Amino acid sequence: MSTALQKYQRLEASALWRETPDAQRREVIISVGDASLLISDLQDRPLAHWSLAAVVRANPGKAPVIFAPGSNEGETLELDASETAMIEAIETLSRALHRRAPRPGRLRWLILLGSVFALAAGLLWWLPSALQSHAVALVPQLNRVVIGQDVLAQLERTSGRSCHSELGDQAVSKLTEALGVASITIVPDGVKTTASLPGPALIIGRRIVEDHDDPTAAIGFMIAEKSYATESDPLARILEFGGWRASFRLLTSGMLASDTLVRYAEHLAVTETGKPDNGALIDTFAALGIPPSPYAYTLDISGETTLPLIEADAIISPAPPILTDGEWVALQDICSS
């Protein structure tokens, strides 16, 4: 910009100046000053000076060329079309200075746009969580059970139908009542160990009952899953997996999309179960009168990582076994019938 000013600083031209709309035009000499246009009479006495940043052309594309200061529409400066060098200088410097001039409203617009974007980002961050919490709080127990059954139906499409036998179902019924859950389902495949669905409904992989000779160890997996379902609502986990659309659909229709159910069932098949807090887990074992050490040793045969569970045996008063030996054998054979 300074180079352009220096280029035009010695440039002068003759022009006709009108101070007001009613005044007579006067012949003047104009020259380029420091970011301003100097207007002098023929005796070189200054008459006015205009800021080049404010100068506008009043008749674009026409001749003679008329300029005006942006701050005073009544004042004009008329140049003959032959004064091409001065016309070019005024227009070039005016455009350059106008681009560099501060715009008071720009900061306000930037602040406004920043506020809008911050609000939008806040909504995007807050809205899914708020929708999920609202849905979890409003969905009644009956709907939770239905959603759990719907996920189980999708899970059975890949895992195979849930296991049943007359004596095995009796054992499952006793476990369901003792653990205080809506249902317990043994599946031949589809979950690595255990999973929980709204209800709460416990899904138990067949290997949990088939691979452990001690029923207390197998029941320990069920207790851990129930404890985890108490800490982490299974419905909230489904909605978190499905995103805000799942929460919105559940709030508006009372149902989840079949696509969400299918994808979540597939998710259960490849996901390890969550680990509940040790304190809450020990409390659940204690309430049922079941020692946690058999379960703890199945997780870590050395006992090093599950020592708090093993030591909790000392503070738990054992209760009578939930299942008889015959019921436990029937449960182990439930998927073989």
Residue with the bigger pLDDT between 312 and 245: it is 312
pTM: 0.64
Structure confidence by residue, pLDDT tens digits, 94-105: 777 766 655 555
* pLDDT number for residue 173: 96
Q: What's the Cα-to-Cα distance from 219 to each of 53, 130, 156, 321, 329, rounded to whole Å?
A: 84, 36, 22, 10, 13
Residue 96: what residue type?
A
Q: Give the residue ranges of DSSP H helices in 160-243.
A: 166-179, 206-210, 215-231, 234-242
Q: Taking residues 3-20, report their average pLDDT.
A: 75
pLDDT of residue 20: 84
For residue 93, the model assigns a pLDDT of 80
Residue 208 has pLDDT above 60, yes or no: yes
Q: Which CA distances in Å does 62 have to 17, 39, 81, 256?
A: 17, 22, 9, 70
The secondary structure of 27-79 as a DSSP string is EEEEEE-SSEEEEE-TTS-EEEEEETTTEEESSTT-SSEEEEETT-TT-EEEE
pLDDT at 123: 44
Percent of the chain with pLDDT over 70: 87
The answer to whether 31 and 38 are in contact (CB under 8 A) is: yes
The pLDDT of 158-171, averaged and rounded, is 91
Residue recorded with tokens 């220096």? 6
Average pLDDT of the chain? 84
pLDDT at res. 17: 87
Q: Residue 122: pLDDT above 50?
A: no
Answer yes or no: is pLDDT of 79 > 70: yes
Cis before 200? omega within 30: yes
Indicate the pLDDT class of residue 35, thresholds 50, 70 and 90: confident
Report the distance separating Cα 284 and Cα 296, nearest Å. Answer: 14
Residue pLDDT, tens place only, 38-53: 888 888 888 888 888 7
Q: How distant, in Å, are the alpha carbons of 8, 33, 203, 278 from that of 12?
A: 9, 10, 93, 90
Residues 6+ apart with CB under 8 A from 180: 226
- Give the CA angle between residues 312, 318, 321 to the nearest 5°: 125
pLDDT at 202 over 80: yes
The pair of structure tokens assigned to 148 is 């759990």
Distance of alpha carbon 34 from the chain centroid: 54
The pLDDT value recorded for residue 43 is 86
Check if the beta carbon of residue 188 is closer than 8 Å to that of residue 160: yes
Q: How confident is the model at residue 129 (pLDDT cuts 50, 70, 90)?
A: confident
How far apart (Å, rounded) are the C-alpha atoms in residues 198 and 22?
87
In this prediction, residue 71 carries a pLDDT of: 58
Q: Which domains does the chain have, with CATH numbers?
A: 2-100 (2.30.29.30), 129-332 (no CATH)
Q: What percent of the chain is modeled with pLDDT above 90?
A: 39
Kindly report the length of the chain.
337
Assess whether pLDDT exceeds 50 at residue 1: no
pLDDT, tens only, 252-296: 888 888 899 999 998 988 888 888 999 999 999 999 999 999 999
Q: What is the pLDDT of residues 285-333, one digit of tens each?
A: 999 999 999 999 999 999 999 999 999 999 999 999 999 999 999 999 9
- pLDDT for residue 6 is more than 80: no
**How far is Cα 156 from Cα 185, in angstroms, rounded to an integer?**
11
Answer whether residue 128 shows pLDDT above 80.
no
Check residue 59 and give its pLDDT: 86
